[in-house]
């Protein structure tokens, strides 16, 4: 008897309006094939269960240190405790016993039955009238493509719109499993220059570009039943340069001008700093602020000046007015 497949998911957002059209339920899968310096979800990177620490909630009782089977916790004068992530297995025992709720498990295995139960509960908000549906994000959900394909197939049978949020740094075979059941793809193009991409994300962009071109052909061959949105994060000192934005726009115009329904320029978000703190990680963008409204508008004008359909390029996310 086969064991029911499970997926490692670290968060589920309901009533979301930021990850595709309408009101959506978003499943965040753990594990990523990139290591972007500006990552907004550092808890998504490792494909393993983890524990993070809210130092402000810590009672300094030391009970978690006593019960940890891996000796992965130790006292710290400033934070209360620190976690040795080389030792920590993410078993979660400390989180169950923490009186101050200073410890939280990040990542749980979900069965298809459990995921379907959540979808059924939220289905009234994901109707055609609201234009919503479900989105799988991460991390990189296609690292768990078998589960995503089954989940999307289930949604299709329930007439629920499906969206895949991907960085593209996966095998094409992973896409092939999921595409027949996918209504929308949110595809990241962060940097057009390959050496810069490798330096800032941990991998080159060759596979990402190749998969995007294959994706365009797949959409054409399959009756254009799948929409494609391109997403480019606007990261100060990294992706937010005239050369990069115009370079991406020129590439899209030359190779995918008839395949793209929308190109989003997504403003940098400094809020993840607290997530890095909880995981005991340093963040290179710790002191970087929101981009200004003027910077966002400038990036938008660069993109629209070179892209074949300027009206399809939009700016999303918060900006400051300084």
Q: In this structure, which topology does domain 50-106 adopt according to CATH? A: Alpha-Beta Plaits (3.30.70)
Assess whether pLDDT exceeds 70 at residue 1.
no
Q: Where are the beta strands (DSSP E) in the chain?
A: 6-16, 24-29, 50-53, 73-76, 80-83, 103-106, 108-111, 133-137, 161-166, 184-188, 227-234, 262-267, 313-316
Assess whether pLDDT exceeds 70 at residue 16.
yes
Per-residue confidence band for 285, with pLDDT thresholds at 50, 70 and 90? very high
174-195 pLDDT tens trace: 999 999 999 999 999 999 999 9
Residue 7 to residue 202: CA distance in whole angstroms: 24
pLDDT of the residue at 266: 96
* CATH 3.30.70.20, the chain: domain bounds: 50-106
Q: What is the mean pLDDT of residues 270-295?
A: 92
Percent of the chain at pLDDT above 90?
Answer: 85
**In this structure, are residues 18 and 229 in contact, taking their beta carbons and an 8 Å threshold?**
no
* CATH 3.20.20.70, the chain: domain bounds: 6-46+108-316
Residue 219 to residue 228: CA distance in whole angstroms: 9
30-60 pLDDT tens trace: 999 999 999 999 999 999 999 999 988 999 9
pTM of the predicted structure, to 2 decimals: 0.93
Q: What is the mean pLDDT of residues 260-276?
A: 93
Burial of 56 (0-12, 13-18, 19+ CB in 10 A): exposed
190-244 pLDDT tens trace: 999 999 999 999 999 999 999 999 999 999 888 778 999 999 999 999 999 999 9
Class of domain 6-46+108-316: alpha beta
Which tokens in the block code for residue 73? 């916790």
Q: Which helix (H) or strand (E) holds 304?
A: helix 293-306
């Amino acid at each position: 008897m086969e064991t029911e497949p499970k997926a490692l998911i670290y968060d589920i957002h309901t009533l979301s309006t930021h990850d595709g059209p309408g009101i959506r339920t978003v499943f965040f899968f753990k594990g990523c094939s990139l290591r972007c310096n500006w990552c907004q979800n550092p808890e998504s990177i490792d494909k393993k269960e983890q524990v993070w620490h809210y130092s402000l909630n810590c009672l300094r009782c030391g009970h978690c240190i006593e019960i940890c089977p891996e000796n992965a916790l130790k006292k710290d004068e400033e934070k209360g405790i620190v976690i040795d992530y080389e030792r920590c297995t993410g078993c979660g025992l400390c989180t169950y016993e923490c009186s101050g709720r200073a410890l939280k498990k990040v990542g749980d295995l979900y069965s298809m039955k459990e995921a379907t139960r959540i979808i059924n509960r939220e289905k009234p908000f994901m109707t055609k009238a609201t234009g919503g549906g479900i989105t799988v994000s991460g991390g990189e959900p296609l690292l768990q493509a078998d589960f995503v394909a089954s989940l999307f197939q289930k949604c299709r049978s329930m007439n629920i719109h499906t969206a895949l949020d991907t960085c593209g740094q996966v095998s094409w075979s992973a896409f092939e499993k999921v595409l027949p059941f996918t209504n929308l793809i949110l595809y990241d193009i962060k940097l057009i220059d390959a050496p810069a991409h490798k330096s800032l994300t941990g991998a080159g962009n060759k596979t990402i570009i190749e998969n995007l071109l294959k994706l365009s052909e797949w959409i054409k061959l399959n009756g254009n039943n799948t929409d494609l949105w391109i997403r480019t994060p606007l990261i100060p000192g990294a992706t937010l340069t005239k050369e990069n934005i115009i370079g991406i726009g020129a590439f899209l115009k030359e190779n995918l001008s008839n395949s793209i329904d929308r190109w989003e320029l997504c403003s940098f978000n400094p809020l993840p700093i607290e997530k890095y703190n909880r995981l005991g990680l340093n963040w290179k963008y710790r002191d970087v602020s929101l981009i200004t409204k003027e910077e966002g508008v400038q990036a938008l004008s660069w993109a629209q000046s070179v892209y074949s359909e300027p009206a399809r390029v939009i700016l999303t996310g918060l900006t400051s007015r300084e």
